[in-house]
Structures are given as structure tokens and as C-alpha cells.
Chain A
Amino acid sequence: MAMDVVDYEILGSDMQYVEIELDPGEAAVGEAGAMMYMQDGIEMDTVFGDGAQQGGFFGKLLGAGKRLLTGESLFTTVFHNEGQGKRRVAFAAPYPGRIIPVHLPDVGGTLICQKDSFLCAAKGVSLGIAFQKKLGVGLFGGEGFIMQKLEGDGLVFVHAGGMLMERTLQPGQRLRVDTGCVVAFQPTVDFDIQYVGKIKSALFGGEGLFFANLVGPGKIWLQSLPLSRLANRIVLSSTVAGGRSAEQGSMVGGLALGGLLGDDE
């Protein structure tokens, strides 16, 4: 199904949102709960599936099930411009990071991305599963066995944590990436795992046993800070988990003075 052609602007630096401009009659599809604001004239509708499903009820059910597996919810919200002129709807990133626009025809019509990274797109995009068939990659590659596959001929917006980097790999060019830092890639890129090399590095290097090995040609998108890593750090440094509070000078100070003088927790 041909996708709507939409304009957009991405705002923000580390906690971004994308504002999509729709012509009359056009629509944008967003993950449930991602909408930030919408102008008069835009009507919101929730559909079972991604709105591009052509099949009957069972086809829709299957599609929805697949989406559940990829980390999306069963439903997507469609924002349709029913006004007279151009209208805007904005979608916000759910955690610190960046939004990247990808024009699917530039990458051959299909983009493989990590679970739960789909944010929004022009209507007509098809959200499916990319099933990792290589067992090793699925187990140790950092992305699991299930990734999202976005297909279409228009714009999609993908979100990931930290700073996002786009790279183009030339034919045969190889990049070894920390597992978990791969956000999205064109399906012409080989995604493989490679053993770290030395036992010492494997045990103490902090990178785990495997690298993700990306071999070109094609475009790849990498993130500097996967959310899980950020979340772990936050949890570990909370005082509940035994982390240090910045106020503490000494143990006594932390308990007594800190409490007396007030905390802004």
C-alpha cells in the first residue's frame, strides 16, 4: 500500500519529538501513547494492527500478534487530517535519546530495527517481524531473535536512546559494534556475531563475549546509550540500591544533616 507523503520537523536535542505535517486527507500512524499534541482538524482513531493490513480478520489478528512480539502494542493510533488545510501532529520520544527519520525508498523499502524502536510513520507503513534465523546471533547478538521490520515507500521515524549515529558501510566494509548498540540497518547489511578474541578481554573487557559484526554495503544506525544500560545505572546508583547520595559528606552527615536540612527527593 502506498504510503502518504508527509513533511516533518524534529525538535529538541536530547529528548526529542517529531512534528509531522499532514496534507488534508493524509494520516500518520503512531505507536499507542506516543502522541504529544495535535491540531484541530486531526482526528485520532485506534486500529487493530498497523492500518496497512489488507487481510481479513485473521490476517489482522496475525499482524497484531506479530507486533506484540516486536514490543509494540496490539493497537496503533492513526491520526487523520480531516481539516481543510495542512495540520500538524507531534509524537514524543518516550525516553532520552534521538529520533531519526528514514525514507524507506532510500534503503530499498525495508528497514530492520530493534524491538520497540518504532515511533511513528506516514500511514501505509507495514510493521512486521524480522525473525533472526541464525541462532548464535539471536542468542548473543544483543538484539534477540525478534526485530522489527518496517516496510513501505515513505517516511518512518525510529527512536533510540543516547546519541544516534548514522553510518554508511561500503561493500565489504566491516564495523564491530557493542551488542545492544545497533538500532537499525538496511537488510543488505550482514549482521553477525564475532567472538571478542582473547579470554582476558572476554571476561574482563566489559564488552561481553561477542561483538556485533556489521558488514556492508548499506546504511546502519547506532546508539550510544541503550535504555537498558541507562536504567541499570540509575537503579544501581539510587540510595535504595546502595548508591551514594551526592549530599553525603560522611555517613552521619548523610543520615542526620541531610535529613534535617531537607532533601529534594
Chain B
Amino acid sequence: MTTFRGRLFGPGLPGGGAEATARWLGDRLEVAAGNREWSAAVERVEVAGFNGERLRADFRHPAEDGEADFAFFVDQPEARIAFAAGAPAAIAAQLQGTSRAHRKTERRSRLGWVVLGSVLLLPFIALGVFLARPDALAAWAVDRIPPEQEAKLGDLVLAQTRARMKLSDSGATADAVRVIGERLTPGTRLRYRWFVADRPEINAFAAPGGVVVVFRGLIRAAETPEEVAGVMAHEVAHAELRHGLRAMVKGLGLRALLTVALGDLAGSGLEHAVADLTELEFSREAEREADAHGLKRMLAARIDPQGMVRFFERLAREDERGLPAFLSTHPATGERLEFLRREVSAAKADATPLGLDWAAVKRD
């Protein structure tokens, strides 16, 4: 019979146990530790110790004051195998039971951790879902924002913009912008406010709630009012389709989920989101939508859509490398130009000219 190693505990032995070797002899277990020996029938075999990771064989043996309890621990895997190999039938049956008990504890512990882990991981899972389908989620969320809130956001953006540049809503230029704008937005639910920003960049943007800002640089670069109308139609489309809100929800949602998932994130949410809004990077999807929708508005307003195309072309030609701000935040200009050209040539343009003294407007 093979001998196997273990640790023996009992009266007469050190408190922390003594290293021992043992072997089966028929029905009895023979244990040797130090220079003493014990031989007894094992009463019981159990999983024992911290986390039930050890195997304990209990037996009784005569000691100083009569019979006493002893415990022999079998730990190492090789020892366990040898222990199981030589065990008498009754003990072998108990061994089966112990491995079952051990597995049960393991299973329950695993289950508990799965539950706990899922709860802890929930924010991250939500984050993952959010990142996978941001548009659908954002669209759903935006649909639930009432127009009054939207208008308030627009006010916020307006205030932020005013802090950075001079805005005018009166004067020849501003009036022209308003005229064009009003023609583009009949029967709208938004309360539009038209502004001209005193800046030389060729740029324009729209904020949620109907705030539209056109830069003086754009006015000066346009040869006809139809060209400006084209750009404004695009921006109006952004406002009508609530792209700003969607992007903000996406950004905020991401940040909110991140805060829940990761805890303390520096930076306040709304303030930054609003600041970002003024220099938004719309997704290509949004840009395409805005292009198409803007064109529809132009046609509905009976403004010559060629203006839009011409303007894009001229800008692209004039400034190949250093793209003006307007274009640089709008990627894939070539694609969009192609799309516009196609749509415009296909559309039946029944245009009424914008009766504006453009020279005077540009001079303003």
C-alpha cells in the first residue's frame, strides 16, 4: 500500500499539527508522526478547513485520558489520490459525498459572484449597449424632450456665443438673413431667431430651438443670396431635425453612463455639452440628412438650389488645402457635392428669386 503525506492533529501533538505519513492497512489507517504511530479505523471523512478546501479524516484512538479525537488532513492532490485508492468501502462512499458537497459550495459561490458581478457590471453593460446603438437610443431620448426645453437650450447656446463674438440681429445683413430664413421656414414649430456674427470666417450654425447664426465671412464670400440660402437651408434642416439635441444626448448620455460606471468624472455635464454644441461635429449621417432636407426646403421655398451647389463648388475650388471652418467640420465634401449636384439636376426647380439688394447687404 502506498504511503501518503498529511498533517495529524490530536492530544500529545503540537497545536498546529505535525507532519505525518500514513497508509491503509486493510480497514485501518496507520499514521506515523515524529516517532509515534497510531492505528485506527477512520470514522468519518469530511471536507474541512477554510473554504472546505481540505480533506479531513477523523478517528478515535487511546490517548492519555482514555480515547480522544484525532484528525488527519490529506491535502496534496497525490496524497488524496493515494488516500482514496486504499480506502475501505464505507470511507470511499463518504469520499463521494465530500466531493459532491465541495462542488455544491463551489457552485453556490459562483452563482453568488455571477449575480454580484452582473449588478456591478450593469453600468458597463449599459455603456456597451449605448455605444453600440447610439443613434437609436439618442433619437428615442430626443423625441421625449419638449420644445420649451429645446428653446431654453437654444438660449443657453446663444448666451455662450454672445460671450465669444458680437451678434447682431438688426441691420441690412441681419434683415437679409431673416428674410431668407423666414422664407425657408414657413409654418415651423420652432421659434427661429436669426443672427449675424461679426466674424470673418465662412461659417454658419444652428442651435436647438431655432437659433441660427450666419458669419459675416460667409455673407461676403457669397455672390448671390441664393448661395447663403443654401447654407441656411442646411442649418435650418439641422435645427428642424433636432440633430443638435441628438448629438448632445449622445454626448451627455455617454458621459452620464460613464459617471455611473466609473464614478467621479471631472467636469460638469451640461455646461460642457452646451459649449460643445457650438462647435459640433455632426455625424455623416446627420450631414447627409441635413443636405437632403435642406434641399427640399429650398425647393419648397422656391429658391434656386443651384446656389447651394455653386457655393460649395467655388469654395472647394478656391481653397483646396486650408478648408474654411464651415467645410472642415463637414467631412466627405466631395461625396456631398456629388449628391447635391445629382439631386439638384433631378429636381424641378421652379424658382422665384430672392429680391435682395445683395451688394448693399455685403457692404453692411
Contact = CB atoms under 8 A, between A and B. Distances in A.
B69 interface: yes
B12 to A, nearest CB: 11
Range, interface on chain A: 20 to 34
Contacts of A187: 49-50, 53-54
Given A133-B51, A134-B109, A170 B56 contact: no
Interface residues of B, number: 27
Nearest to B70: A171
A133 B106 contact: yes
Which residue, A107, A133, A134, has most C-beta atoms of chain B within 10 A?
A133
B236 to A, nearest CB: 55
Nearest to B47: A190
A108 B18 CA distance: 8
Contact of B58 (A112, A130, A171, A189): A171
B109 A130 contact: no
B253 to A, nearest CB: 31
A216 B11 CA distance: 12
A217 B17 contact: yes
Given A107-B16, A135-B112, A219-B15, A190 B9 contact: no
B14 interface: yes
Contacts of B15: 106, 168, 218-219
B108 A171 contact: no
B7 interface: yes
A130 B51 CA distance: 9
Contact of B16 (A133, A135, A186): A186
B274 to A, nearest CB: 39
Contacts of B69: 170-172
A131 B106 CA distance: 12
B16 A218 contact: yes
A188 B58 contact: no
A197 to B, nearest CB: 24
A39 B29 CA distance: 53
23 contacts: A106-B14, A106-B16, A130-B50, A132-B51, A133-B52, A133-B106, A133-B109, A134-B51, A168-B16, A170-B10, A171-B69, A171-B71, A172-B58, A185-B50, A187-B54, A188-B17, A188-B54, A188-B73, A190-B48, A190-B50, A216-B9, A217-B9, A218-B17
Interface of B: 7, 9-11, 14-17, 48-54, 56, 58, 68-71, 73, 105-106, 108-109, 112
